[in-house]
Amino acid sequence: MAAPYDLNDSSVFVIVGSGAGGGTLGTQLALKGIDTVILEAGKRHETWDFINDEWDSFSQLAWTDKRMTSGSWDISRTFPNLPAWIVKSVGGSTVHWAGASLRFQEHEFKTRTHYGEIAGANLLDWPIDLKELEPWYAQAEDRMGVTRTNGIPGLPGNNNFKVLEAGAKKIGYKEVHTGRMAINSEPRDDRGSCMQLGFCFQGCKSGAKWSTLVAEIPKGEATGKLEVRPECQVLRIEHDAQGKVTGVVYADANGVEQRQKARAVAVAGNSIESPRLLLNSHSNQFKDGLANSSGQVGRNYMRHTTGSVYGIFDKPVHMYRGTTMAGIVRDEARHDTSRGFAGGYEFETLSLGLPFMAAFLDPQKWGRDFSSAMDQYQNMAGLWIVGEDMPREENRITLADEKDAFGMPVASVHFEDHENDTAMRNHAYKQGSAIYEAVGAVRTIHTPPYPSTHNLGTNRMSEKASDGVVNRFGQTHDIPNLFVSDGSQFTTGAAENPTLTIVALALRQADHIAGRMARGEL
């Protein structure tokens, strides 16, 4: 474990956030011998602390600080102060994620080229492509132990998967399996294999699921070059007269303001907190917030086109037994406008426990329809839709008038579905119902999107400084020693779960940063 770094040590690399981006970047920099401090707003929980109970676990791990919402999306009505279901704890949302680890497809890096002009969408090609990212994807898959790569077998299929697979194959889908999952299907990396406990969203008590908490940060700390400070909420980033970042001001566990000097800063607080921090760090020199000469900080917020379909059968399925998301249908992930929309989507198995099902199945609605579905809980099978949503300038994060406990304006999240998103979701609802009806479902239920776990965009990557916030290495266009290392740098969202790409980009960014430091450029 690293001895604490001095607050006045201006040679340290400071990272805000310890999730897929920040935790991976911090560990990788430490492994390269670079002095690194990660500031994490949440507490540090370990595998033995995790709670296999949905509500208690939510209270322990979730980012429940108040947020504001606006726009026509369901969330502004059903969960107006909880637009995102992410984690405030060391390891970030890798503690809560399901483990699905998929590479983006080639065309998804160049949507402006492939989809053309789509009215009301702010499409832009990424400044990198699949070929360039392939070595980093390979490195990430090996590091995370992704099943069906590197000779690692797939996870076994639970009942929920068996129902999905039978129905999907019956209606003609071909690419159906238990997924590429960053969950050990056999012992690996000093961690055991999946015990099929079914509480993947509640932290994974066995440690079989990859997270930066169990699989990265301890390796970084073992070098003596990484210090992780929990319960440290960063309030603003400071800079000098030349516009270079000099450090961060944060509130420690006692609410006392501290200032950590830095040679460079990487922001990795997710697509709501990262733009909030940049906007809140405004100064006389940067009146609209840091790295915001383009006006794009906070804009182009994406959350994936989601929703769920549940099938009710006349016999028990017990969908909650086994790995939550080990099951995928990928046939619809292609770009094929004959379906009435650009981009694609995939189906993944999903199960919620009874407490969450009561909250999310049909939010804020009660009555016979709802209660009869809940009565049939053990006979349910469930799937989640994840599809590419359109970036829109007006879907954005701004600073609200209301302030948090530290006097920092809370984030306000505005979102409206693009008509492409709605067409995709409706197609997916129809196909999801067809999957279950093909194997005898007596009823299917379409559930609106939950508070978002895939928060993307808001500090997007762009070739030109006028189009986005960061360049191809996640370095801000405006400030050479300020980086973004999370999903907020995504130019577009793709149909795949984002974590593998966040990790691949963080590994690539670490090499880039180490190279620039060695050349004296940072």
DSSP string, 337-386: GGGSSSS-EEEEE----HHHHHHHSSTT--SHHHHHHHHTGGGEEEEEEE
pLDDT reported for residue 355:
77
Domain assignment present for 507 = yes
pLDDT over threshold 80, residue 516: yes
pLDDT over threshold 70, residue 126: yes
Taking alpha carbons only, the member of 27, 60, 17 closest to residue 232 is: 17
pLDDT over threshold 80, residue 112: yes
Least confident of 33-42, 196-205, 226-235, 389-398: 196-205
Q: What is the mean pLDDT of residues 85-96?
A: 97
Q: Per residue in 149-204, pLDDT tens?
A: 999 999 999 999 999 999 999 999 999 999 999 999 999 999 999 999 999 999 99
Domain assignment present for 154 = yes
Orientation angle between helical segments 419-437 and 159-170, nearest 10 degrees: 100
Domain assignment present for 131 = yes
Q: What angle do CA 399, 405, 407 make, to 5 degrees?
A: 50
Residue with tokens 């699989």: 215
| Predicted confidence band of residue 1 (pLDDT cuts 50, 70, 90) | low
Taking alpha carbons only, the member of 373, 359, 358, 365 closest to residue 311 is: 373
pLDDT over threshold 60, residue 394: yes
Question: CA of 299: how far to CAs of 21, 460, 461, in Å?
Answer: 20, 8, 12
What domain range includes position 115? 13-518
User: What is the spatial distance between Cα 522 and Cα 508, in angstroms, rounded to a whole number?
Assistant: 16
Domain assignment present for 78 = yes
pLDDT reported for residue 422:
98
Q: pTM value? A: 0.98
Domain assignment present for 142 = yes
Domain assignment present for 490 = yes
pLDDT reported for residue 503:
98
Domain assignment present for 7 = no
* CATH classification of the domain holding 463: 3.50.50.60
Number of structural domains in the chain: 1
**Residues in the chain, total:** 522
pLDDT reported for residue 92:
97
pLDDT reported for residue 359:
78
pLDDT reported for residue 372:
85
pLDDT over threshold 70, residue 131: yes
Q: Per residue in 450-477, pLDDT tens?
A: 999 999 999 999 999 999 999 999 999 9
Q: What is the mean pLDDT of residues 402-422?
A: 97
Q: Per residue in 330-381, pLDDT tens?
A: 999 999 999 999 999 999 999 988 877 777 777 767 788 888 888 899 999 9
Taking alpha carbons only, the member of 307, 311, 281 closest to residue 162 is: 311
Indicate if the alpha-carbon torsion angle 377, 380, 386, 389 is positive or negative. negative
